[in-house]
Structure formats: C-alpha cells, structure tokens
Structure 1
Amino acid sequence: MKKIALITLLFAVSISPEVISQTSEFTISVDEPKNGSITLDPVLPEDGKYAEGTLVTVTATAESGYVIDAVYHSTPGQWGPMFYDTPRVSSLQVTIDGNKSVGAYFVEESLLDGFTLTPDIIYAKPGVKPLKYDVYSPEDAVDLPILVIIHGGGWRSNDEDIMRGMARQFARGGNYVVASIDYRWLGTGDGDETPNTMADLIEDVFGAIAHIREHAQEYGGDPSRLLLTGDSAGGHLSASAATMTDRIGDGGFGETEGIYEYSPTYIPEGKTADDLRTELTSSIKGVAPTYGVFAFEGANMLQMLGMTEADDAKVAAISPIHNIPDASELSMPHYLIRGTQDPLISDENVTAYMNALVEKGQRVEYVQVGGASHAFFDWKPNNSTVDTFEKYGVYYIEEMEHFFDSVLFE
C-alpha cells in the first residue's frame, strides 16, 4: 500500500506543474479596432496570456469624427462569437476566467444624431436581474407613437443592447419614440434559483409595456399609440403581447385548471391587471414579429421550454397562433419578415401563422428577404454583423416603418 501511495504521489508531483500551467493561464486575443484604439491595463504579456483571475481594464479612444459604440469581450458560441458588450462607456473591466477576445467598436458621430438616449430605465426586479429598457427619443418629440422592441436570443441570452441598431435607425427618422426592452431569461441563466418560465417572460413584456405607457409623455410619446416588434425569440414575445392582451389578469398561469392568465411584472400604482388588460388592448395598434416562433411543437422544443409534461392547453396559451383575435373584435395588423436562408425559422412556420391571421380577418403582410439568414436586425460590435444590418436591416426597417405609418395614419 505504501508503495502504491508513493507512486501515486510521484505521479501527481510529476504532472502538477503542467496541469497548473494549463488551467491557471488563459489566452487573450485583441481584435484590431478600426477608427480608434484600445489599451489594456495591465499590458498583455508577450505570450498573450493572463493569469486566471486577472482584472484587465480595456480602454477605448475614438478617432476624430467617430464615437465609441461599445467596449466588449467575446467567447466562442454556438452561432459564432458571443459578445458581452457594454455600450456608451470608454472602458470596461474584464475578469480573466477563460480564453476570450477583447476589443472596441467605433461608429461615425452622425449615427447618434437626431435623438437623445435615456438608458437603463428599471421597470421591475422580480428576480436577481433588474429588468430595464432604453428609450430613444427624437429631438423635440411630442406625442409621437412609440415603438417597443423586444430582443431575441433563444429566450436565454442577450439584452436590449443587441437591438440598438434598429432603435437608432427608427429614432433617427424622427417619427417614432423607441423603447428597447429586456426581460428575464428562461431557466436559471439570470441567477434565479427557481427557473423562469415562458409565462414569466410574457409577463415581463406586458410589465415593460405598462411602464413605458405610464411614462410615455416623459419620453415625448403618445401612450395611446403603441407598436411592437421583436426578432427571433423577441418575434414570439412581440406576437404574444399583441395577440394575448385578453389573457392579462390575476387568475394565475395554470394554477387553476383551465386558467392561463398573465399578471404583468409591473403594474402602475392604483391600477389592477384588469385595468392593464383594457389599456394595453386599446393602445397596441400593430406588430412586426420578425423571423419569430408562433407555435411550439415537437419534443425538442417542449423540452427546451421545460414543458414536456404540459398539457395542450398550457402550450397553446404561450403560442400566438392559438390566440389570434377575430379582426371584428380587435384589429391587430401584422408585418412578418423572414430571410430565405434562415436555418432556424422555416417558411412553412411563418406561412402557417400568416394563414391563421387571414382566417381571423386580420391584415397581414409577409415579406421574404432573398439571401438573408437569421438575425439581420441585430447589432453586434463586429463588422460582419454590422455589414449584414446595413445590407438588409436598414432597408427593411424603413419598410416596416411604412407599414406602421399605414396602420396609424391611413
């Protein structure tokens, strides 16, 4: 036994320096910035590695005529680099806990002309993460319609900043106040002990809209004219909020058999869920769910939602396709859009939703964008995403605005 123990000890000693070197240092890549520069403190060693736990300050400086869009770090992800970007700051502290890239992205000053930004307005804190939204108000805005944007990310990632390209583009047009919202993530990704459900996310969206409506005039907006849009997971959530206002109530979601109601995460003081049902139903005038999910079908999808044991009624209660109001009772015009090369959202799925809308007498326009893939309305601090946004997003944002204009003014 002593011999075996000695051999084990010698083996451990012989490999421990290599193991330590592998696990206690991480490689950091610096993305070469354009139209500005960055510095790292402490300076990146020649071997490109920092010790685990090192706190690195990344500082960005823009060239003349440019401003900082975001300072960021990124890690490899399922769909390419996963960016953790912080807009509107000149420096960012990054804790070294794995291999990653760091950098900064710069944009022309003119991109921020024509509107004022009010960031990080907290509307609720039902769990660990404060829920917030950013408001983009055109200069001298008074009683403008309000566009609410809901971000995507598989219901489990991203925040409102990923939609800042769309928000800025709309606000620069001068005709809409824009509010870009965040919400809880499915599961425990936010740090909540109790997993968040899809019903929780929908309640967050209703709560954000209620808060925006309550403070609309402070932002130069008209609380009686709200439009919704969102991409991917946000496409589902925007369609849900537009079609399910009749489900707002305090009866609970599935707590009583056959009752599936949403109590908004934020309810203004002195009001009830019933009040919000009436107010949001009358205020929401149209929706543009982009490359979204409208029905939840199949074992894999239900497993992702944590709803493998859910009955059909519960699944239907989170699915826009099963909650479309009849146009004679509530008109809810839809602008649907999808890239023809989208690997996640099929034409069949969007067409099924379009047909269901038509059956209910709703106005609907479905646009397919030739050659576009998924998420072309997103904005990330890298050239490929921005190039895609400029190629497809800018044009179809203008088309979406024309659709909303026709809903409100014709």
Structure 2
Amino acid sequence: MKNTIQVLRALALTLLLVVFCNTAKAEKRRSEMESFKVTLVDPENGSFTVSPALPADGMVEAGTELTIKAKANSGYSLDEIYYTVKGGMWGTTSYEFFEKKTKITVDKDMTIGANFIPAPLVEDLKITRDVVFAKPGVKTLKYDVYSPKGAEDLPMIVIIHGGGWSSNNEDIMRGLAWELTKGNQYVVASVDYRWINNGDEDPNSMHELLEDVFGAIAHIQENAAKYGGNPKRIAVTGDSAGGHLSASAAIFVTKIGDGGYGNGTYEFMPTYMPKGKSADDVQQEMTAAIKAAAPSYGVFDVAPLDQFIQQKDAAYREGLSPIKAVPQASERSVPHFLVRGTEDGLIPHAAVKAYTDELKSKGQRAEYLQVEGAGHAFFDWKPDARTRATFEKYGVPYAEKMKDFFDSVFY
C-alpha cells in the first residue's frame, strides 16, 4: 500500500512538472508572438522620427501605436510614409500614407520608411486624392487627380493601373502622373477598379472591371471643370492589366449600354452613371471624348487568360479583346502609342506587334516602341528603391515620349 502511494505521488509530481514546463513554454511562445520586429529604412533627402522610440533590438509589443513624422530637406517634398510587410500577391505588401504625420499600429514584422522627391515634380500641382465614384461591392472605388495650379479647360489623361487585374490601386501610377503633368498641359486622373475573382460574395468578372473604368471616366467627365479639365478631350493609358483595360476603354467605348453583358448581348454599363443621363447619352459623350490611347505592355487578346477569366464563352472573351474590334479609322480615329520592354517575360513582342499591325490595317495611327533592357512594369511607382530606380531609368524617358505623342494629338 505504501509503495502504491509513493508511486502515485511520483506520478502526480511528474504530471505537475510536465504541466509547468508546457505552461512555461506556452508563455514564452505567447510572449514571443506578442512582439514584432520593426526595421527602419534610412531615408534620403529628408528625415523621419518614430515615437515612442524603438528599443535597440527593434522588437515592439504587438498593438503598439507608432507615430511617424517626416520632414523633407530643402528642395524636396514628401512623397510618402510607408510600411512594408511580408505576404500578398507579390511577396510583400506596402501601405502608403501621404501626410507628414501618420500613425501605424504594430501587428506583424514590418519595415518603416519615408520617401522624398524633388519639389519641382509636385510644387505646381493641386493633388486631389481619393475621390469616390462608386461602391459596387465591398471595395470603395476612387481616383486621384493631378491638376496644374490654375488649370482651365486642359485635355485630360486617365491612367488605369496594372497588377494582374487583382492587386494594386491608383497610387502605383503617381510617378507617371507627375511626368505627364510636366509643362502644365494636362490634368491627369489615376483610377482604381474592382479586383477580378475576389473581394465580393460573387467573384468579380473581367467585364465588370471595364464597367468600373467607364464609371470612373464618366465621373471624371462630370467633374472635369472642378479639376480644370475639358471633359470632351480625353486620352487613356495604363500598364499591364491597365494596358488591357485602357485599350479596351478606347476600343469598346461604343459598346456602353444597358443591355447587359452576356447571353448574346455584350454591352457595358458604367459603374457610375451621371444623374439624368442614359447609357446611350454616356456612350455618345465618352466616345466623342476619347481621342487617343497609350496602352503599355498590355494584353490585347484575352482568349488564353483562363487563370483570370472563368467564363468559357468565346463571345464573352472576344467582347473583351481589343484586337477583335479595332474600328476603321474612317469611322472612328483612335491613335495608339504602345511600349514594351525587350526583357519583358510576361508580354511577348509578338502579341503587341499583332495589335499594332491590326490597328494599322484599319488605317489607325499606331506607334510601337520597344524599350531596350526594360522588363515588365517599368511605369510603376512603389516604395522600394528597386522599383523607383527602374522608373527613373525607363519610366521617365518613355513617359516623355508618351507625352510627346499626346501633344501631337491634342496640341
């Protein structure tokens, strides 16, 4: 009996020790999980402060609210305060803030920084951010406007961003917007749209993204005077997925209507409709207004895009393929300016050339330039140094060529 009691006591002590060790390990893991590594990027042409100050090892308790204040050096302006975390479609995701002071809550490992740009890029601009034009699903759709100060009745350029039709927003095109507003000859609007196959209870379809683009243009036209723009003189541009959507906007604008998209009728109903106007009114006004297109390294035939388009109907896909619907120039002139990097691994030269050749076969003006040494997405502007350097090397000079093309159309 005595031996039995001793055995039971030993078992009890062993169990207590196991529980204690497991609890200690759990507490250690919990403690480790509640702190995250915060890394600061040394800024150029400006400075920023973080409050409260970070500990020497950079480990910050989860839920801590950091206040970031940025200050530009003389001759420079603040572009953004940002933080970057791992994850997302491209491996990392950055969150950007355009005020000199912002608050960031630590909830994962992150890198925090601030970027500064030469003041002349933006000192003559009035930038209107986050103009909401529609909310067809869970995502609020908006655009930014870059207006030269004192602008009146200037032609307008609408930029449509890329990102595989399923990532990014209008902010990624601001570098191109700065370049196109040089010389104070254009008002530029950078627009957003729903992401394909996600974001809502029913997956978003490709035609709905184009309806968002048409909705944004309709809203921009309605408010053009407010921005100093002329609603009857519009060009569209965009890169990658935005290259497809901008070419589609230029080619399929005549298909705006209220008949629905599918089942034998393929018409686009803009996500935003001005009050008192019918789909036919909007179609006629927008068709007359769009004077040129500059789709960069885009897709012009969506036939092979099974990973993005669930619909197998050939007519559905043809109705979203600009190459299938280029009008005769004698019926409607839509001059095009196209670029592609020679090292672009996503968009083949043959695909862009085929669209260029189709445009020319219909009597349309089409200029196609290959950018020697450039890869994909060189018109993008993101916080990381590599993307910004790529934009400086390739985006800036070819934005100037794009602007020269628009000048030849509007001036």
> TM-score, normalised on structure 1?
0.91
Per-residue CA distance 1:174-202 (angstroms, 9 max, x = gap): 1111111112222334xx33322212211
**In the superposition, relative to structure 1, how do residues 358 and 20 fare at CA in structure 2: closer, same or farther (>3 Å)?**
same
Look up the match of 1:359: 361
CA contact (8 A) 1:337 1:367 kept: yes
Distance 1:80 1:338 in 2: 24
Residue 197 (structure 2) pairs with residue 187 (structure 1)? yes
Which one of the candidate residues 75, 79, 85 is aligned to 2:96? 85
Residue 285 of structure 2, aligned match among 279, 283, 296: 279
Q: Which runs of 5+ in 1 are unaligned?
A: none
TM alignment of 1:9-158, pairs within 5 A? 12-13=22-23, 15-76=25-86, 79=90, 81-87=92-98, 89-158=99-168
AA aligned to 2:385 is N
Question: How far did 1:219 drift?
Answer: 1.7
Contact preservation (8 Å) 2:68, 2:101: yes
- Would the aligned equivalents of 1:230 and 1:288 in 2 still touch at CA under 8 Å? yes
- The aligned amino acid for 2:95 is Y
Distance 1:392 1:11, change over 3 A: same
| 2-structure distance, mates of 1:80, 1:42 | 29
Q: What CA distance in whole angstroms lies between the structure 2 residues aligned with 1:193 and 1:354? A: 38
Q: Measure how far apart 1:360 and its partner are.
A: 2.5
What SS does the aligned partner of 2:214 have? helix
Between 271-280 and 178-187, the greater mean CA deviation after superposition:
178-187
Using the TM superposition, give the Cα deviation of residue 208 of structure 1 relative to its aligned residue in structure 2, in angstroms: 0.7
> Residue 11 of structure 1: CA displacement?
7.4
Q: CA deviation at 1:286?
A: 0.7
Q: 1:261 to 1:173 in 2, by over 3 A?
A: same
Which among 313, 326, 331 is matched to residue 324 of structure 1?
326
CA deviations on 1:100-159 (whole Å, 9 max, x unpaired) are 211111122222133222222221222233222122122332221111111111222221
Structure 2 runs not aligned, ≥5 long: 1-7
Hey, what's the Cα distance between the residues in 1 that align with 2:21 and 2:207? 53
- Matches of 2:395 and 2:323 in 1, distance apart? 26
Say what the alpha-carbon RMSD is for the aligned residues: 2.3
Aligned to 2:306: 302
Q: Deviations over 1:253-308 (max 9, x none)?
A: 22xx211211001111110111111111111011000011112243xx31333x1x
Measure how far apart 1:386 and its partner are.
2.3
Matches within 5 A, 1:369-408: 369-408=371-410
Quote the sequence identity (%).
51
CA contact (8 A) 2:43 2:114 kept: yes
Give the TM-score normalised by structure 2. 0.90
Of residues 348-357 and 379-388 in structure 1, the stretch that sits farther from structure 2 once superposed is: 379-388
The number of equivalent residue pairs is 399
Letter in 2 for 1:236: H
Distance 1:385 1:15, change over 3 A: same
Decide whether the 8 Å contact of 1:113 with 1:172 is kept in 2. no
Task: Encode CA deviations 1:334-364: one digit per residue, 9 max, x unaligned.
Answer: 1110111112211122122222222322221
Task: Check if 1:162 corresponds to 2:168.
Answer: no
Which structure's CA Rg is the greater one?
2
Matching residue of 2:299: 293
Q: Is the 8 A contact 1:148 1:209 kept in 2?
A: yes
- Give how far 1:204 is off: 0.8
CA distance in 1, matches of 2:364, 2:70: 49
